[in-house]
Amino acid sequence: MESIIVGSGTGTDASVRAYDANGAQLSSFLVAPSFGRGGVYVATGDYNGDGRSDLFVSSGRRGNAQIQVFDGLAILGNSIASSRLISNAYTGQDAIAPISITLKDSDGDEEKELYSSQLSDGRSDQLKKWEFSEAADAFFSTLQAELDPDWSSGAYLG
């Protein structure tokens, strides 16, 4: 059974909670302090191939344009020691604008890829695709597409 993942809103510490289908809280933790108090966006998908959904958290306003990935099994055990930080994830020119994220199997290989777009900076009209390199033990951007120029305030992904 999948958990319901919720990220905090603007004005609170960057935190994430997981709930079961009945609304009982399963876990709760603070994300890296560098995410600030601008809230967080969350998405889930299995990036490490263990069959369990992992957690992707992107920074809200004033969060230094970061994306952090947490191992799904560790999250349910309230351990955030197993995480990877994707810094400088911004697509525009403003590192403090929030980052919208989603995971999709866009190439039909049955593995979800991470996509990001920056919001609200008035200059963001790009979409980034992130892939994980086991050899480098890091995420890297493989696609940077231009979106509609009229969408200069960013795009919400879903």
What pLDDT is stored for residue 23 in this prediction?
A: 92
Of the ranges 25-29, 94-98, 116-120, which one carries the lowest mean pLDDT score? Answer: 94-98
Distance separating alpha carbons of residues 38 and 68, to the nearest angstrom: 15
Instruction: Give the residue from 61, 76, 79, 75 showing the smallest Cα distance to 14.
Output: 61
Q: What is the pLDDT of residues 47-100, one digit of tens each?
A: 777 787 888 898 888 777 788 888 777 666 555 555 665 655 655 556 677 888
Q: What is the pTM of this model?
A: 0.81
Given pLDDT bands bounded at 50, 70 and 90, which one contains residue 104?
Answer: confident
Q: Which residue's structure tokens are 């994980």?
A: 132
**Helices and strands counted in the chain (H then E):** 1, 11
Starting from the edge strand earliest in sequence, which strands make up the sheet with 126-133, in order?
A: 99-104, 113-118, 126-133, 138-146
Residue 155 has pLDDT above 60, yes or no: yes
